[in-house]
Amino acid sequence: MQNINKFEIIKKYIDEYDYWELLACHAPNDEFDSYSKKLSEMITEKDSVEDIAKMIATIMDKSFGEEINPKKFITTAGKIKKALYAQE
């Protein structure tokens, strides 16, 4: 299996979610990279899917100036958790 770093895994799923559909509207490919970098520094194996969803929501809250329900990010958080820590 190819060795993919933590940032690349997180970036993949944050970009896939594409909050506000910015990438779909031709925003630069690195639009969410600062969020992905921050998350890669924060997320640990001990964090639950709900914890990861809260981290994503907190970062997006600050960036978009709104209070975002962490439940919006549960699926994305689950994908991140599985990709980072369910590898055998």
Q: Which domains does the chain have, with CATH numbers?
A: 6-85 (1.10.340)
| Global pTM value | 0.89
- Please write the tens of the pLDDT for every residue from 10-37: 999 999 999 889 999 999 999 999 999 9
The span from the CA of 62 to the CA of 38, in Å, is: 12
| Stretch 60-86: mean pLDDT | 92
Are the C-beta atoms of 79 and 63 separated by less than 8 Å?
no
